[in-house]
Chain A
Amino acid sequence: MWLRTGPFTTRIQSPVHLIAEGLHTMYADFSLGDEEYADFHIRLRSPRGLRSWLRPQVNFSLDGGEPFNPLPLNQAYAMLEWCLNWCVTSNVNTFLILHAAVLERDGRALILPAPPGSGKSTLCAGLMLSGWRLLSDELTLIDLAMGTIAPLPRPVSLKNASIDVIAAFAPGASFTRRTHDTVKGTICHLRPTASSVARSYDPAYPAWLVFPHWEADAPATLTTRPKARAFMEAASNAFNYSLLGAQGFAALAALIERCDCYDFRYGRLEEAVALFNGLKPPSS
């Protein structure tokens, strides 16, 4: 399968049923590549031998190399998604890449950098299911020349309690089956909205840089973050800022100039979504 996701084409080869099932559920709205060029050639398959009968596993390879240890077979689809992220963060330096969700409304991008456990993906899923366009739930691709954000819409990764939060928030949403006992706990993936996938090639202009933090029962609160401090926090969430040198600094500084910067605390998703739906565009 030659899968086109935003700027990248990935050739995926796998005999694993869970991979086929996950791709069918999550990527039905996506375009296929033209089978002439792929940025990444990956395979996911079960190692052979006695182990395949006793404790079935799945192994990932990129261009023939196997950079990771195998995982239990029931984690095959999760491994595919993790490895698709890894392919980008380990090989792509034509963008400044932030570990951040990014969504768009009226042409303006909301960037949500945050470490795991901050409620980033839950907030991202809630906003997407409320009409915001998903550009990515993990990787914000900043064009070094234009300063725009390139879309990379793919399934949203949800963990543990956030799975039920989103299932209750949007009962019609489409998920993969749940995978238990991963290194991240129980995980599943949420299918991106068709409208997000349909605009996989439309860049967005950065407008808001928001650092989310989930806290039980906390009222939804936006607090302005000074821009220099926003720069420092965003840089710490970048995969290739140091590697890009002056280009990385200039791209991140330009992004900070364009954005209103905030810290955001929330405890209830509905309240958070309502607050972002009322967010005013930056004045400058």
Chain B
Amino acid sequence: MVCWRRLPVRDLSLRRWDNEWVASDTISGDTHLLSLAAGIILARLQAGPATTAELTVALLDTGQVEGDAVQECLDALAALDFIEPCPA
């Protein structure tokens, strides 16, 4: 099972409003609008590394775990250099 963590060099600020999140790397100033699911995943990873399964559980209450939704969120966050795979 793949494990994920926040990129250690990132210093992220996160804020949720309604069903959207804003994430900002306060060192670079990079700021992105995130979906509800992506925001929840990033907030979970702020607390520490987690497996894809654990992140899927974190999203169960949101109703946003259908199909490849979790993997798509993980790929999107990795593309932003917010998260990366890590040893389990």
Task: Report which A residues bind B (CB closer than 8 A).
Answer: 226-229, 231-232, 235, 241-243, 245-246, 248-250, 253, 256
Contacts and interface: CB of A to CB of B under 8 A. Distances in A.
Contact of B33 (A228, A241, A256): A228
A211 B2 CA distance: 43
Contacts of A232: 22, 31, 33
Nearest to A227: B17
Query: Of B11, B20, B24, B33, which is in contact with the most chain A CB atoms at under 10 Å from its CB?
Result: B24
B18 A231 contact: no
Contact of A245 (B15, B17, B20, B26): B26
Contacts of B67: none
A226 B31 contact: no
Contacts of A231: 15, 17, 22
Interface in B15-34: 15-18, 20-22, 24, 26-29, 31, 33
B22 A228 contact: yes
Contacts of B16: 228
Interface of B: 11, 13, 15-18, 20-22, 24, 26-29, 31, 33
B32 to A, nearest CB: 8
Given A226-B17, A231-B17, A245-B26, 20 more contacts: A226-B18, A226-B20, A227-B20, A228-B17, A228-B18, A228-B20, A228-B21, A229-B20, A229-B33, A231-B15, A232-B31, A241-B29, A243-B29, A246-B11, A249-B15, A249-B24, A249-B31, A250-B13, A253-B13, A253-B22
A232 B30 CA distance: 11
Query: Of A228, A241, A246, which is in contact with the most chain B CB atoms at under 10 Å from its CB?
Result: A228
Contacts of B28: 242
B21 A245 contact: no
Query: Of B11, B17, B28, which is in contact with the most chain A CB atoms at under 10 Å from its CB?
Result: B17
Contacts of B11: 246
